[in-house]
Amino acid sequence: MNKRNLMIAFLLLFNATVFAQDASRKPMAKLINDEFKFAADQYKILARGVEPGLTPQSFKDGKNVNYDIKWWCSGFYSGSLWYIYEQTKDEAIKKEAESALKVIEPNQTYTGNHDLGFMMYCSFGNAYRITAKPEYKTIINRSAESLSTRYHENVKAIQSWNKSKFWDYPVIIDNMMNLEMLNWVSDNGGSQKYKDISVVHANTTLRNHFRPDFSSFHVVDYNPETGAVKRKATWQGAADCSAWARGQAWALYGYTMMYRFTQDKSYLKQAKGIAHFILNHPNLPADKVPFWDFDAQGVPFAKRDASAAAIMASALLELGQYTTGAEKNEFKTSAETMIYSLSSDAYHAKLGENGGFLLMHSTGAYPLNSEIDVPLIYADYYYLEALARYKNWYL
């Protein structure tokens, strides 16, 4: 059998397996209930591997990987715990969530990168939503002010990373996610300037980050004096011209969120365009868990990225709230497929395994040989968010 026929046979077998699994799916309501109960037990195991003053990131070679609080992922652990507590009312989980918040609280004045939204809104935002404690809102507001310092009028965008030998003024598609905190603060008693920054940044990204097919570049580097685009490139994707899977997920989620806050139809159009690019891409597998890059070398044997699927599922569920008819059904059923796939043995850990993380097989930065085929804390976070959103909006 030649290589082409072997590949076709592999894909047919894989698709048959997926559809066989579809036939035995448990009802979504039961799956969600079971998943949150499992998450409470699993995260108690994860908590035992967290070193004091650090936050959990991954699990590799039988060891937990923990990072400093200024790492961009530091808010996802507490955010995940709050999602679990909200569904289970497990007091031990709540206590751990509160402790995790204390660890990252100093980040409210951090201005070293653009990730304050990930760090402080995914954590304190969920905590405030659930508890309404005013001290949490104060911290969110202070975090928004810190993030706003990275906005510069010449470029009309928030600078993602500091200037280096590689970049002058880099803006990455991931930055769309951090706008949620700015919007929320303005809409909840804070200065209007935060939402204004958010809208201007989203518009600059809309002009410069996207190709005609709605796929996104990872990095756009600007001239900090004139605001002119210097180059469009990648740091974590397969190539400058490729569609890095998690980058497409950030873009989908980001413009869906921007529509929520502004009702600007250009954002809704963009979100729907991105969704159709993802869902109609010939390299999207039948289980809808993407390869780490849609243009990765070695498809269909390239590494998957469960984190991208989790983000996409959560975003598609929200996008389904703003659409109707066949389009709404497409977004909802695609998210369902992603959730069922992630909850299957192919991607889902067993109790006590995987270092206490929920999902396996995420890819952080393949070209940098970093975090390849491992659990990642943000994959768990957006998976839990997708489950909660499905329960709130579709059950």
Binding site feature residues: 115, 174, 234, 246, 250
Residue 38 buriedness (CB in 10 A; 0-12 / 13-18 / 19+): middle
Amino acid at 124: F
How many angstroms from the chain centroid is the CA of residue 74? 13
Residues forming the annotated binding site for substrate? 115, 174, 234, 246, 250
78 and 93 Cβ atoms separated by less than 8 Å: no
Please spell the DSSP secondary structure of 174-232, one letter per residue: GGGGGHHHHHHHHHTTS-HHHHHHHHHHHHHHHHHSB-TTS-B-SEEEE-TTT--EEEE
What is the identity of the amino acid at 384?
L
266 dihedral zone (left: phi>0; alpha: psi -120 to 50; beta):
alpha
Q: Which residues contact 17 (CB under 8 A, 6 or more apart)?
A: none
DSSP string, 307-323: HHHHHHHHHHHHHGGG-
Rounded Cα gap, residues 73 and 308, in angstroms: 15
Residues in Cβ contact with 249 at an 8 Å cutoff, skipping those fewer than 6 apart = 278, 307, 308, 309, 311, 312, 315
- Catalytic annotation, residues: 115, 174
Measure the CA dihedral 327/329/382/348, to 10°.
-130
